[in-house]
Amino acid sequence: MDRRLDRKVGIKDVSREAGVALSTVSHVLNGTAPISQEVRVRVLEVARRLGYLAKRQQKGVIASLTTLYLAVPPGNLPHNDINLVSWTLLTALSRECERRGIRVVAHTGAPELNAAEIISGARAVGAEGIALVFDDNPALLRALAASDLGVVLLNGEDPTMNIDTVAPANRYGARLATEWLLSQGHRRILHLTWRGRSTIMRRVDGFHDAYAERDLPQDMAEVLYAKGYEPAHARDALKTFIAERGGLDGFTAVFCAADNLAIGALSELQAQGFHIPKDIAVVGFDGVAPGDLTVPSLTTVRVPLEALASNTVQVLERRLSVSGFGNPACRVELGCQLVERESGGSVFAQRQ
Amino acid sequence: MDRRLDRKVGIKDVSREAGVALSTVSHVLNGTAPISQEVRVRVLEVARRLGYLAKRQQKGVIASLTTLYLAVPPGNLPHNDINLVSWTLLTALSRECERRGIRVVAHTGAPELNAAEIISGARAVGAEGIALVFDDNPALLRALAASDLGVVLLNGEDPTMNIDTVAPANRYGARLATEWLLSQGHRRILHLTWRGRSTIMRRVDGFHDAYAERDLPQDMAEVLYAKGYEPAHARDALKTFIAERGGLDGFTAVFCAADNLAIGALSELQAQGFHIPKDIAVVGFDGVAPGDLTVPSLTTVRVPLEALASNTVQVLERRLSVSGFGNPACRVELGCQLVERESGGSVFAQRQ
DNA sequence: CTGAAAGCGCTTACAG
DNA sequence: CTGAAAGCGCTTACAG
């Protein structure tokens, strides 16, 4: 099994590139001799750039995970082309595993995920670890946690904190987008979301946090629930909303809990003759699709997919090797980034 | 600089202990040859037990952190004996650093933490990283994040997700305690807390989550705010509460956001002639003090201090070496554990 | 999967 | 901090 990271970078390469002695590099890396701050920094910088640090860390990683068993609720599987996020995240995870020489086997079973099936499936292929993606069925999580396999939940929530989890910082990401809109002068913001999994609810929390942080009254903020996360659901929800209120009702921005919804919001608003962002600003969440898929291009919160994938593998490997099963479960949330494009604009540039 | 972990355990020791060939151990650890599942598992098990896995991982760690600069708001410093949690957490952090051969220098400055002072202090002692503990002043966090030093926030919250954070899973921990009380038949639970830092607010969130999860009406739950987190504050708050309501008002349990509060709650309730848990159950949060400090002993949620300390150092080292400053910030939350002792009891054992 | 053997990469001790 | 050198620990290729 080859580990692609090893391109034979050695400390010899680092020493040459950094212009210091071989022994100096060794001392810097191990802290075995007092080295001046400037040399230390230069050596570490070069070592990182050449990928030596990564290689060395990789060597420290024990091959405790040779086969990863991937359990995804069927609705989120790649063949469902609506969910680009799922597809991209799974792709990133596969790539990460390939890079590390880890075999990935996808679970195939009944439409409803079943713990016993997953566990026996994992055993059958000799997998040491299971990555459960997009699911947070409490009973399923409990049953998986009780097995002696390593389990990590990706993009979900385990409130019982029995199994390790890696997820985007949904609450903080939503807060970030809302705060950005507030900083652009918006005060009446509509949060368009759906009654989805708990991770989506965290985005509602973050929406309210931003108002609370600025001591703005929460009744300026409003949450509109669509019937699902597809563009058509967003269109329906907004159509009803605008009909009932006889217009935008003073809202100057729509913050959507998913890009999918934002796409639907854009079309519905435009169909009704509103200009984006001149009449109303639209901000999404996910940042997976390229920005120029919509007109105008979509301002959104980008979820760090690659980092999610690599952290997933790392958390699992750590659990299977050094940390063992005695240590408390961890939940790793990764920061999201606001991508400013055309659909989000200042309220002051709007025609009122 | 010696690294205490290295006790000269080698793969030779592992091979002897596991009863397999030297080369087999190597193959297992590196995944360089197909090895049967049983041998693999045995070798990894022995390697972990002998501490070889830990040693090997430690070798992979680059000495990117030689000196850690510790910034703690003065009110939380060890010399303040009220706050046992702070003291224990800082002790755990110091021990972890000592174990890894990292020097720790504590910041001493004005009563109010000041970013410029912290940064220059850290530079003056040649520290590569700063651990900011118990603080989440947004301006301070922003200023520290802008420096080129590694920064990690311990036991706090950075909603902007600019700096790496390690904290207990406050929301889930509170939910765990509340759910446990609900499972014991309690329905009217009083959450005694104070308007503290945001991490304390997450415990309020978790309190409500537990009711929501069971579809119980939120007005069964009630939050009582004390004026601070000292036992006396808890006593005052409960005294007023009981006076106003003319008794316990149907509440059968008090879930306190800190053991400190729980200690005050116990004394006030007992002073008023209530028996714990026969008349009312009391549950705390922190689990730092030994359980037999109170009569009856305190049922509480234990925060994993050692794991918090080791994760703090690890997150910082990772940021300073492999991951660099380009990757998104992470927030690591660690699971808390319910410690069942005497003060929490079933509602069915109570006299009504 | 074993066991002896060659070899590689890094560490370490030391004189300058 | 350098540079040559010794040595250690692990990896690797191979016959059994």
Q: Domain A67-167+305-333's class?
A: alpha beta
Give the CA-to-C1' distance from B184 to D9 in angstroms. 56
Q: What is the pLDDT of residue A295?
A: 93
- What tokens were used for A288? 């997976």
- What tokens were used for B352? 């009504």
Strand positions, DSSP E, chain B: 67-71, 103-106, 129-133, 150-154, 164-168, 189-194, 222-226, 253-256, 281-286, 299-302, 330-334, 337-339
> Starting from the edge strand earliest in sequence, which strands make up the sheet with A253-256, in order?
A222-226, A189-194, A253-256, A281-286, A299-302, A337-339
d(CA A42, CA B80): 41
d(CA A191, CA A262): 11
How many CB atoms sit inside 10 A of residue A120's CB? Answer: 12
Task: Specify the higher pLDDT residue, B244 or A351.
Answer: B244
Question: A62 and B54: CB-CB below 8 Å?
Answer: no
Count CA atoms within 13 Å of residue B315 on its CB side.
28
A5 and A55 in contact (C-beta within 8 Å)?
A: yes
Question: A334 and B336: CB-CB below 8 Å?
Answer: no
Segment B27-44 mean pLDDT: 86
- Which of B162, B209, B322 is facing A57, going by the closest CB pair? B322
Closest to B254 (Cα-Cα) out of B272, B239, B266? B266
In 3-state terms, what secondary structure has residue B104?
Answer: strand
Which residues numbered 21-80 in chain B sit less than 7 A from strand D, measured from CB?
22-23, 25-27, 29-30, 32, 52, 56
pLDDT digits 0-9 by tens, A181-227: 999 999 999 999 999 888 999 999 999 999 999 999 999 999 999 99
> What is the pLDDT confidence band of residue B5, given thresholds at 50, 70 and 90?
very low
Residue B77, pLDDT > 80, answer: no
Q: What is the pLDDT of residue B78?
A: 52
> What is the pLDDT confidence band of residue B24, given thresholds at 50, 70 and 90?
very high
In 3-state terms, what secondary structure has residue B251?
Answer: coil
Closest to B83 (Cα-Cα) out of B204, B261, B234? B261
Q: What is the pLDDT of residue B1?
A: 30
- What tokens were used for A164? 């390790």
Strands A150-154 and A299-302: unpaired
Q: What percent of chain A has pLDDT over 70?
A: 96
How many CB atoms sit inside 10 A of residue A243's CB? Answer: 10
Indicate the residue type of B61.
Answer: V
Is the model's pTM score more than 0.75? Answer: yes
> What is the pLDDT confidence band of residue B99, given thresholds at 50, 70 and 90?
confident
pLDDT digits 0-9 by tens, A288-332: 988 778 999 999 999 999 999 999 999 999 999 877 788 999 999
Q: Domain A170-303+338-349's class?
A: alpha beta
Tell me which architecture the domain covering B11-60 has in CATH: Orthogonal Bundle (1.10)
> What is the pLDDT confidence band of residue A31, given thresholds at 50, 70 and 90?
confident
Q: What is the pLDDT of residue B321?
A: 85
Chain B environment of A29 (Cβ under 8 Å): 62-63
* Burial of residue A270, with CB atoms counted within 10 A of its CB: 0-12 exposed, 13-18 middle, 19 or more buried: middle
Q: How many CB pairs below 8 Å do chains A and B form together?
A: 139
List the nucleotides on chain C closer than 7 A to a protein CB: 1-5, 9-14
> What is the pLDDT confidence band of residue A4, given thresholds at 50, 70 and 90?
very low
The residue among A62, A313, A319 with the most chain B CBs within 10 A of its CB, best to mutate, is A62
Q: Please tell me if the domain spanning B11-60 has the same topology as the one spanning B67-167+305-334.
A: no
- What tokens were used for A300? 């959104």
| H-type alpha helices, chain A | 11-18, 22-30, 37-49, 52-60, 84-99, 115-124, 138-145, 170-183, 198-213, 231-245, 259-271, 305-320
Tell me which architecture the domain covering B67-167+305-334 has in CATH: 3-Layer(aba) Sandwich (3.40)
The residue among B24, B27, B62 with the most chain A CBs within 10 A of its CB, best to mutate, is B62
| Proximity of residue B11 CB to strand D below 7 A | yes
Residue B273, pLDDT > 50, answer: yes
Sequence length of chain B is 352
d(CA A172, CA A202): 9
- What tokens were used for B343? 């003060």
Domain ranges of chain B: 11-60, 67-167+305-334, 170-303+338-349
Q: What is the pLDDT of residue B2?
A: 30
pLDDT digits 0-9 by tens, A50-101: 888 888 877 777 778 989 999 998 776 555 555 788 889 999 999 999 888 8
Question: A329 and B322: CB-CB below 8 Å?
Answer: no
- Which of B29, B66, B311 is facing A63, going by the closest CB pair? B29
* Residue B303 to residues A231, B173, B259, Cα–Cα distance (Å): 43, 8, 11
Q: What is the pLDDT of residue A1?
A: 30
Segment B275-302 mean pLDDT: 93
d(CA B167, CA B311): 9
Four-residue CA torsion sign, B50, B56, B59, B62: negative
- What tokens were used for A39? 């040399």
- What tokens were used for B113? 């933490």
Q: How many H-runs (helices) and E-runs (strands) does chain A carry? A: 12, 12
